[in-house]
């Protein structure tokens, strides 16, 4: 049997040789299918569970990939270090490319019904003077922009998976290739898994990317405060993204749902500094940055519950050809921020993680269902299809952020008086939201 045929057999149900019980973890909501075996490897001390497809990380990339694979008839298990899905966090903006993927994996309409469609954008100065406004559909009839609460997006994706798919409190501690062409995953809770295929969706600090030789994501010199304002009696805004451009500081706010408004304040800082979680300190720092700005933004921040306010240093990593390692090593592959952390200036990190998930699922299905590719070649094909999309987008997002964070008064005056009012065109700015893929069948 050639290796692609061997992989094709992985999707067939396999019988457990003996009636061994499921492994139970101390804290988790779902149990995972377990097939314990004992490997005769010198460095393996205890029973090793055997799995076909293991996804590491139950973020947007991990869950979207698991759902995409499931739609192609391929089951996986998802290991998540936390004891629940990420409940905190604010909102992300998804453009039409993100919605196209959410539709393809069957959750688009569930999410649409909960989140407002954003009609356009308005760019303002710190004192509230309007510099320019655009309507998305005037530029592109097919454009779709909505803010989506991250928590609800994750819960919606997780609900598509069989109950025993996600294993919480399962933090990957170590990864190594094993002699049998599999990958040995050692978890913090001392359990071990031998996986035929590993899909690492473990975010910007991905231990798997590090193991594959990737450098750490690079701090780009800006941090963002974010929050989700709550208006129990209804939020007051029109469905538009509002951008406010200051000198070295910029902000945005956008209604997400009838009661919630997402906002961020982005500012320059030479080094990220220590992590701050105390909400009163966070609020104080935000207010210092936007002192004297229009009252609309201040009111929104004042309507924000403490537990949604966070500060995040912005990072990225450019996938230089010939220098950056390939996206896969054998049967281990990277997806989402684990592969291509990018700054949020184009609102594309999560959209691209969703895109990665469907493209990877299609490639893997060619190996596992149809036997037309080996798994290794499927991963290489995924990498070569995705790289030309991801590499320029990461650079573009970085450059947009650098430009918008400039604090030179002459440059800011040119931006406010010439560039934004007269030169900027929305069409080319959103060109990157055009993305097509084969149907998931």
Q: Under the rule (CB under 6 A), what is the footprint of ligand FAD?
A: 56-62, 79-82, 86, 92-94, 171-172, 201-203, 207, 224, 226, 312, 336-338, 344, 347-351, 353
Contact 289, 249 (CB under 8 A): yes
Contact 401, 314 (CB under 8 A): yes
User: 4 or 398: whose CB is closer to ligand FAD?
Assistant: 398
Minimum CB separation of residue 355 from ligand FAD in Å reads: 10
User: 92 or 195: whose CB is closer to ligand FAD?
Assistant: 92
User: 303 or 348: whose CB is closer to ligand FAD?
Assistant: 348
User: 224 or 368: whose CB is closer to ligand FAD?
Assistant: 224
Minimum CB separation of residue 322 from ligand FAD in Å reads: 24
Q: CA–CA separation, 392 vs 91, rounded Å?
A: 25
Contact 194, 183 (CB under 8 A): yes
The strand order across the sheet containing 120-125 reads 130-135, 120-125, 240-245, 249-255, 260-268, 218-230, 310-316
User: 86 or 269: whose CB is closer to ligand FAD?
Assistant: 86
Angle formed at CA 287 by CA 285 and CA 290, multiple of 5 degrees: 115
**Residue facing ligand FAD at closest CB distance:** 59
User: 336 or 383: whose CB is closer to ligand FAD?
Assistant: 336
User: 52 or 80: whose CB is closer to ligand FAD?
Assistant: 80
Minimum CB separation of residue 235 from ligand FAD in Å reads: 18
In Å, how far are 67, 77, 355, 369, 384 from 363, measured between CA atoms?
Answer: 14, 18, 13, 10, 11
User: 77 or 92: whose CB is closer to ligand FAD?
Assistant: 92
Minimum CB separation of residue 60 from ligand FAD in Å reads: 4
Tracing tokens 């184009």 back to the chain, one arrives at: 346
Minimum CB separation of residue 59 from ligand FAD in Å reads: 2
Minimum CB separation of residue 131 from ligand FAD in Å reads: 21
Contact 173, 211 (CB under 8 A): no
Q: CA–CA separation, 10 vs 6, rounded Å?
A: 7
User: 131 or 352: whose CB is closer to ligand FAD?
Assistant: 352
Minimum CB separation of residue 144 from ligand FAD in Å reads: 13
Contact 438, 366 (CB under 8 A): no
Minimum CB separation of residue 62 from ligand FAD in Å reads: 5
Contact 169, 83 (CB under 8 A): yes
Minimum CB separation of residue 187 from ligand FAD in Å reads: 8
Minimum CB separation of residue 233 from ligand FAD in Å reads: 26
User: 255 or 349: whose CB is closer to ligand FAD?
Assistant: 349
* 43-47: long-range pairs with CB below 8 Å, 24+: 43/176, 44/184, 44/192, 46/190, 46/191, 46/192, 47/192
């Amino acid at each position: 049997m050639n290796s692609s045929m061997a992989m094709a057999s992985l999707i067939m149900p396999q019988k457990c040789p003996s009636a061994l019980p499921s492994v139970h973890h101390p804290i988790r909501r779902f149990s995972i299918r377990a097939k314990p075996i004992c490997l005769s490897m010198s460095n393996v001390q205890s029973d090793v569970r055997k799995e076909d497809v293991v996804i590491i990380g139950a973020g947007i990339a991990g869950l979207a990939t698991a759902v995409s694979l499931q739609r192609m008839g391929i089951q996986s298990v998802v290991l998540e270090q936390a004891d629940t899905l990420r409940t905190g966090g604010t909102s992300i903006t998804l453009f039409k490319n993100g919605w196209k993927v959410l539709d393809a994996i069957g959750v688009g309409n569930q999410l649409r019904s909960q989140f407002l469609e954003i009609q356009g954008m308005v760019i303002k100065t710190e004192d509230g003077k309007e510099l320019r406004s655009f309507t998305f559909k005037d530029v592109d009839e097919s454009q779709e922009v909505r803010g989506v609460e991250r928590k609800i997006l994750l819960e919606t994706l997780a609900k598509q998976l069989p109950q025993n798919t996600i294993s919480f409190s399962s933090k990957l501690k170590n990864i190594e290739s094993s002699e049998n062409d599999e990958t040995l995953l050692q978890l913090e809770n001392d359990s071990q898994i031998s996986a035929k295929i590993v899909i690492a969706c473990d975010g910007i600090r991905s231990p798997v990317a590090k193991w594959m030789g990737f450098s750490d994501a690079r701090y780009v010199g800006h941090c963002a405060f974010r929050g989700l304002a709550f208006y129990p009696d209804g939020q007051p805004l029109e469905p538009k993204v509002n951008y406010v451009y200051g000198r070295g500081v910029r902000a945005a706010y956008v209604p997400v749902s009838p009661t919630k408004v997402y906002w961020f304040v982005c500012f320059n800082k030479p080094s990220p500094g220590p992590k701050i979680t105390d909400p009163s300190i966070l609020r104080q720092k935000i207010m210092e940055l936007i002192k004297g700005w229009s009252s609309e933004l201040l009111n929104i921040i004042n309507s924000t519950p403490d537990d949604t306010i966070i500060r995040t240093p912005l990072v990225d990593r450019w996938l230089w050809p010939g220098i950056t390692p390939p996206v896969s090593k054998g049967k281990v592959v990277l997806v989402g921020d684990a592969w291509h952390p990018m700054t949020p200036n184009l609102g594309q990190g999560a959209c691209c993680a969703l895109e990665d998930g469907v493209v990877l699922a299609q490639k893997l299905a060619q190996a596992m269902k149809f036997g037309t590719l080996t798994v290794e070649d499927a991963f290489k094909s995924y990498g070569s299809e995705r790289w030309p999309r991801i590499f320029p987008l990461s650079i573009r997002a970085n450059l947009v952020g650098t430009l918008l964070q400039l604090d030179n008064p002459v440059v800011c005056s040119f931006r406010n008086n010439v560039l934004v009012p007269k030169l900027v065109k929305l069409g080319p700015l959103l060109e990157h939201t055009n993305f097509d893929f084969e149907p998931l069948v």
